[in-house]
Structures are given as structure tokens and as C-alpha cells.
Structure 1
Amino acid sequence: MAARVMVWNEHRHERRNCIVRDIYPDGIHWTIASFLAEAGYETRTATLDEPEHGLTDEALNETDVLIWWGHLAHEEVSDEAVRKVRERVLNGMGLIVLHSGHFSKIFKTLMGTSCELKWREADEKERLWVVSPGHPIVEGIGEYIDLPKEEMYGEHFDIPAPDELIFTSWFEGGEVFRSGCAYFRGSGKIFYFRPGHETYPTYHHRDIQRVIANAVQWARPVRRSRPVYGNAKPLERIGVKA
């Protein structure tokens, strides 16, 4: 059964900036949803200005993996929406956070840190080095991915140490960055993937598309019941002598 993917996007840059609109005329969310549909996934989209930000209980319950792109309006996302997404992740829903989504409420909540970093917009080359070559997220990817122009993100990136580090980026100006970070939270999996500044055609790059498609497959829920928590009866008789 194909994973059910929701691509969430603020959809603000595309309406305000003609450069972004030319690159993503239907929105970043539709570009991502389209190449994931071509990869065989069942896709839907949601945006900030929809009722409940498109993150209704029904929509979330029908989502296996949620992809999150945000930048201008992190604080406009309601705390209730963040609470619902967090609960779904802990119960097994996958979460893929892209680019400036590092500063979203949901990512900071799940990380428990500031998620601050250095940044610069200077049309720099980015080289993403694969540092975990056996990981399923990099299936079909070479030793590195070159992006001719991207926004720089630099260390220190204030996140918990990743459970699995998949990519490390080098930038033309000299900085490096942990750009592909995987985490396990509760029964869910989270992948943070750095590339994707809105004024560059990053999500049209075939290798970037391949990584995101692979990440969906990796992050989809494992089909099992969530562990039972709280007071537990013993499985064996306690204090019985032979």
C-alpha cells in the first residue's frame, strides 16, 4: 500500500515574490506533492491559511508522513495544531522538515532546543556529502549532491545530536552544516533536510527529489501497536521460590 503523504506549506512566498512564483507557480507544496505522486505515493496538500491550517483531525489521521515547509509565519501556526501533529508523530506518523522549517514550532517542540543557526544569502554553491552511505534515505544517490546556488546554513546548529546523520554540507564560503538529520521520537521518525530556499529551483533537482521520496519510505509508520504505558501487571509471578 502506498504511503499517504501530506505536504504542508505556508504558501506565502509564492504569493508575494515573483521570483518564487516563477520557480514554483503552483506553490512549493504542489511541486513536492507532484514528484512524490510520480514516485507512487498518495499525496495531498495543506497550507497555513486553510481552516485549522489544513491540519484537521481527519486529515492527520489519514496521513502516514507529513512534509513541512515554513519560513515567514512560524508564529502563526496555532499551538493546538502543533499539539496535534506532535501527538501523531509520537504515535507513529513520519515527519519530514525541510529547509527553514528548522525554526517551526513543531520541529523546536520535538527537538527541545532553540534550533538556531548561522545563515547567509549569497548564491553559494552547496555540496551535500553522504556520510551514511548504507542508509535507505540515500538509495540511488552518489557520494554527494551539488547545488549550484543555495542559501548558506552554518554551524553551530542548536539541535540534539541526530540519532542518524545522513548528510553534511559544505558551502562555497567555507561553512559546514549537518544537513540531513534523522531522529526517533516515540513511535515516529523525523528527518530534517536542509536544502530548499524558496528563490532557488532546489525542489526541481532530481537528486533532491529522490532523497525526499526515499525519506517518505523510511519515515512511514511501522505497522504495530503503540507500546502500553503506565502501571503494569507482572508477566511472571514475583517472589515465588522454586
Structure 2
Amino acid sequence: MNITIWNEYRHEQNNPNVAKVYPEGIHTQLADILDAYGYTNVRTATLDEPEHGLSQEVLDATDVLLWWGHKAHDEVNDEIVDRVVKRVLDGMGLIVLHSGHHSKIFRTLMGTTCDLKWREADEKERLWVIDPSHPICADIGQYIELEREEMYGEHFDIPEPDKLLFVSWFEGGEVFRSGCTYQRGRGKIFYFRPGHESYPTYYHHCIQKVIANGVSWATPSNTTKQQYGNVKPLEDITGKEYE
């Protein structure tokens, strides 16, 4: 399996507090997670690379794409957005992390604003497992508890998920749909909320396990590509002409 991890990589370069948490960038930490789980064909890409590191050649060779963005959503070129969306529809898996909910790619695939409430106040977060039978939730237990995280609160303006996997409770009282799956075209999508840049969330073993599970789940299925448009009949149609 070929995996590409995309990160805008701005906070880590401009904010010393974030650089202390992720000195080599969030994308590098995510790559280390997948390496620890035995994924060997992992590459990274960042916003300021040519074509944002997502050339057609790279995307064509990618089975699952992980996406982390926050402060520079508008800087992602629309041509690249269209390119990624097409690959998802054609079968590439997509894992959207934390503030990637407002990325052009996720909003395009959801068809909604993907707006929500938020607050950064060092709050405890408890992510309750809603569907323990789902493979993304394997070996997680009843909940994941994070000592400090950014709060995201309802209403979250997304379509009803195909599967709701996690619901978060925050110390300030809000709740949030933090783990949602979708299918768009032939591609599988998993949105997973935790991962604010100033907190060491991606070092938490349960968060790492969910991400690794998500990558495995989002792997493209070996199904026949469907044919669309005008087609000839499989059988003779008596007395009918067709184009």
C-alpha cells in the first residue's frame, strides 16, 4: 500500500510552541506512526512544494491520502483540489484530520460548510466509541481520554455520516461527532477530529492506533471500475435501433 501524508506545515515553522511539540512537522510524526505499524511505502507532501507535493503522478500512486490543514486552506490551488477529489471518486482513500474539516477538499466532498463551534482552553476531551464493531475502533476500548485538546462543538455542519464511530465530550460541556466515515464514488473517507497543533495528541497511543486502523480501512477495494455513459446492449433488441 502506498500512503501520502499531506500537511500545510506552517504552524511548525512560524510558531515556536508548535515547533517544540512537532519539531519535524506533524507530517513527520504521522509518518513515524505508520512506520511503527508496519507501513513501509509512506511519503510526505507539504503546501509549499511544487503542486503542493501532489502531482498527478504522486496521486495516481497513492492508495490512501492523509490530510492535515488549518491556517492556509485558501492557499491550496483549486486545480490540486479537483485532482484530489477526482482520485477519491476513483477509489483513493482519504483520512481528514482535525481542522482539515474546513479544507477545500473535505467541503467539496461533503457539499456543506463543515462549520462548527470551537474553543482553545486546555480542556479534557473524552472520545466515546460509538461502534465498537467497526475496524477503525479495533483495540481501542470504551473511550479515549486526552488531558488537553481544543474544543470542537456541535452543530457540525456535515452530512449524516455513513457510520458514526466516535463522539467527544469536552470539559466545558460540549459534545462533537469526532469520528465519521463516508463513501464518495469508489473512495472511502474517514474524518477524525483530534490533533490540534499545539498539543501532543499524535503521540497518544490510542490516537495512533485509530489512525493506523483508519488507513487500513480506507484502502481501495479491488472492484471493477464502472462504465458510464452510452453503452451498447448486451443482448439483441428486436425491432429497436440504438446509437
Tell me whether the two structures share a fold, i.e. TM-score over 0.5.
Answer: yes
Aligned mates of 1:173, 1:38 — CA distance in 2: 34
Which digits, 9 at most, give the CA deviation of each residue in 1:58-87, with x for residues without a partner?
A: 111111000000001000000000000000
Aligned mates of 1:192, 1:103 — CA distance in 2: 11
Aligned mates of 2:171, 2:53 — CA distance in 1: 38
Correspondence 1:74 to 2:73: yes
Which digits, 9 at most, give the CA deviation of each residue in 1:129-160, with x for residues without a partner?
A: 00011000011100000001000000000000
Choose 228-237 or 165-174, whichever is displaced more.
228-237
Partner of 1:61: 60
Partner of 1:18: 16
Deviation at 1:237, TM superposition (A): 4.7
Residue 128 of structure 2 aligns to a residue in which SS? strand
Deviation at 1:236, TM superposition (A): 4.2
Partner of 1:228: 227
Correspondence 1:108 to 2:139: no
Residue 9 of structure 2 aligns to a residue in which SS? coil
Structure 2 unmatched runs, 5+: none
Correspondence 1:123 to 2:122: yes
Aligned mates of 1:8, 1:177 — CA distance in 2: 24
Residue 129 of structure 1 aligns to a residue in which SS? strand
Deviation at 1:224, TM superposition (A): 2.4
Partner of 1:4: 2
Structure 1 unmatched runs, 5+: none
Partner of 2:181: 182
Of the three residues 11, 26, 29, the one matched with 1:28 is 26
Aligned mates of 1:239, 1:189 — CA distance in 2: 42
Choose 63-72 or 223-232, whichever is displaced more.
223-232
Aligned mates of 1:211, 1:113 — CA distance in 2: 25
Partner amino acid, structure 1, of 2:162: D
Residue 113 of structure 2 aligns to a residue in which SS? coil
Partner amino acid, structure 2, of 1:28: I
Aligned mates of 1:239, 1:147 — CA distance in 2: 68
Deviation at 1:4, TM superposition (A): 1.1
Question: CA RMSD, aligned part only?
Answer: 1.1
1:160-199 equivalence runs, <5 A: 160-199=159-198
Aligned mates of 1:120, 1:237 — CA distance in 2: 64
Deviation at 1:214, TM superposition (A): 0.3
Aligned mates of 2:16, 2:82 — CA distance in 1: 34
Which digits, 9 at most, give the CA deviation of each residue in 1:6-46, with x for residues without a partner?
A: 11000000011111101101000000011101211121100
Aligned mates of 2:48, 2:229 — CA distance in 1: 39
Partner amino acid, structure 1, of 2:6: W
Partner of 1:93: 92
Aligned mates of 2:210, 2:50 — CA distance in 1: 31
Aligned mates of 1:132, 1:174 — CA distance in 2: 22
Aligned mates of 1:195, 1:238 — CA distance in 2: 57
Aligned mates of 1:225, 1:55 — CA distance in 2: 25
Partner amino acid, structure 2, of 1:56: S
Aligned mates of 1:232, 1:39 — CA distance in 2: 45
Partner of 2:205: 206
Aligned residues: 238
Aligned mates of 2:55, 2:9 — CA distance in 1: 18
